[in-house]
Amino acid sequence: MSGLAGVRFWRETKSRYNLTGNRCGVCGTVFFPPRPVCTRCHRESIGRMEEHKLKGTGEVLTWTFVHEPRPGFEIQVPYILAMVRLDEGPALLAQMVDCGPGEVRIGTRVHSVFRKIGEEGKSGVIYYGYKFVPD
Amino acid sequence: MVVGIVSYGACIPRYRISSEDIARVWGQNPPLIGKQLGVFSKSVPSSDEDVVTLAVEAARTAMRRSPVAGDMVNAVYVGSESHPYAVKPTAGIVAEAIGATPNLTAADFEFACKAGTAAMQSCMGLVGSGMMDYGMAIGADTSQGAPGDALEYSASAGAAAILVGKKNLIATIEHTCSYTTDTPDFWRREGQIYPQHGGRFTGAPAYFKHILACGRDLMKAVSTGPGDYKYAIFHQPNGKFPLRVAEELGFKPEQVRPGLLAPEIGNTYSAAVPLGLAAVLDIAVPGDRIFVTAYGSGAGSDAFDITVVEAINSMDRTGPSAVRSMIERKVMIDYATYAKLRGKITMGGASR
Ligand SMILES: [Zn+2]
């Protein structure tokens, strides 16, 4: 197995493992994943984007059941994919785990957990990162 | 040089399967099996949980509850017999996930069910010698017994992390000692999924001999008797052995029960003693003395004499991170779901 996908994932390890985004030093907007420039302040924010570790707490904006998984997720079907609004502002798409459909609603408070995201087959690299569980 | 525990954290997967459900599948007597083993349910990791994820969650709780920043941790050692990679350290991934990289030493330990306590001893040595300030010792496992084997009723999953240091202590470790031999009671060859065990050979010449010798050595070294301890924690391959070995050493069941988790979550292997210790630290008060003896097949025992100090009162030990909350926040699953989560179902080409 070529390690190319592994290398790409590895570059994003810091944000995937520790929910590390960044924050505009001008207006304070927080971004995840980190952005090179602030979407509000544009050129003014150049050189003023600071690394910012997110707490991993937030609430569900919307969610859906996945019955047709992407490769590597077959054993987890059916699983829940949610759009989570983090308390610092950014929204992200992530898998919800350790819960059934009755436990997730719009507005449900959630926090991040460290889980396996996928793997390159049985002999390849294993990817880890954030998923969410209800509080 | 006083060395001790700065912080600790635990992680127990949410899913459980009852011994009765397993017994039913294999045509055994369902109510009898649980009683014989003293294990009534066991924890089951989800398909996206492994030793790395359990170890990271436990270590993150330990970090969150301590005044220590990630980059102050000088060592991460993870003891397990179910590391997800044969080559590529779990410890490096954990170190990255708690923000301890890159200026630290890290390694994976293996000594059946006592690899976590061996990691604790290594951290004690490094901290005690002045080579470093803080070391994270973790015991974590997602062990499997072959379907239908007696081990299937107990082999479970969990992790506990112990942050060792000499400042900001919640408990001091007065002494540690070990007892090691070459005993073929239980093993798993490289490349094999399930372990082999020597049946009855796992009792008297293995678990009991090593724990009794090591436990007696410890009490002799610090001139104590069973009555000096509020709590006693033993390796718990089932719910019966710890109570029996405790009785032989002169401990009472009420000293053992607070740290005896096997009846509810099974045998968490390398995590068993660290999790028992975490459960006891959750409820301990300053001055409590704790007797700890781990056991790992192959075989050896590590014993610790621990005293809880005042600072434990200022640590947040309640809420969802408490061991008791994790044990109670469970979802029972049936054997079919268990087989799916544990990879016992072979998928078509899709699962690769
Ligand atoms: Zn801005």
pLDDT digits 0-9 by tens, B252-269? 999 999 999 999 999 999
Both B45 and B164 in one domain: the answer is yes
Both B152 and B21 in one domain: the answer is yes
For residue B194, the domain's CATH number is: 3.40.47.10
Residue range of the domain that includes B94? 4-171+316-351
User: What are the boundaries of each domain within chain A?
Assistant: 55-134
- Contact of B339 with B345, CB cutoff 8 Å: yes
Both B131 and B235 in one domain: the answer is no
Report the residue from B53, B99, B340 with minimal CB separation from A128.
B53
Q: B139 or B147: which carries more pLDDT confidence?
A: B139
pLDDT at B344: 82
**Cross-strand pairs, B110:** none
The structure's pTM equals: 0.95
pLDDT at A2: 46
Q: Is the pLDDT of residue B136 over 80?
A: yes
Token code pair at residue B314: 């200022």
Both B50 and B154 in one domain: the answer is yes
Both B347 and B271 in one domain: the answer is no
Both B226 and B158 in one domain: the answer is no
Token code pair at residue B255: 């000293």
CATH classification of A55-134 is 3.30.70, yes or no?
Answer: no
Q: Provide, as residue numbers in chain B, all residues whose Cβ is less than 8 Å from the Cβ of A74.
A: 347, 350-351
Average pLDDT, integer, range B73-92? 96
Both B235 and B162 in one domain: the answer is no
pLDDT band at residue A115 under the 50/70/90 scheme:
very high
Cβ–Cβ below 8 Å for A72 and B352: yes
How many domains does the structure of chain B reveal? Answer: 2
Both B125 and B187 in one domain: the answer is no
Both B80 and B180 in one domain: the answer is no
Q: Provide, as residue numbers in chain A, all residues whose Cβ is less than 8 Å from the Cβ of B56.
A: 114, 128
Both B273 and B347 in one domain: the answer is no
Average pLDDT, integer, range B85-104? 96
Per-residue pLDDT tens over the stretch B34-78? 999 999 999 999 999 999 999 999 999 999 999 999 999 999 999
Selected for mutation to probe chain B from A103, A128, A132 (highest B CB count within 10 Å) is A128
Q: Which residue of chain A is at minimal alpha-carbon distance from B48?
A: A116
pLDDT band at residue A49 under the 50/70/90 scheme:
very high
Both B136 and B34 in one domain: the answer is yes
Per-residue pLDDT tens over the stretch B194-245? 888 876 667 788 999 999 999 999 999 999 999 999 999 999 999 999 999 9
Cα separation, B80 vs B108, in Å, equals 8
Cβ–Cβ below 8 Å for B85 and A126: yes
Report yes or no for ipTM above 0.90: yes
Selected for mutation to probe chain B from A75, A97, A119, A131 (highest B CB count within 10 Å) is A75
Both B278 and B334 in one domain: the answer is no
Cβ–Cβ below 8 Å for A75 and B47: yes
Cα separation, B229 vs B217, in Å, equals 15
Q: How many helices (H) and strands (E) does chain B have?
A: 12, 14
- Contact of B235 with B273, CB cutoff 8 Å: yes
Q: Which amino acid is at B333?
A: I
Cα separation, B168 vs B183, in Å, equals 39
Q: For chain A, list residues whose CB is within 8 angstroms of any CB belonging to chain B.
A: 13, 17-18, 71-72, 74-76, 97-98, 113-117, 121-122, 126, 128, 131, 135
Judged by DSSP in three states, A101 sits in helix
Cis peptide before B299 (omega within 30 of 0): yes
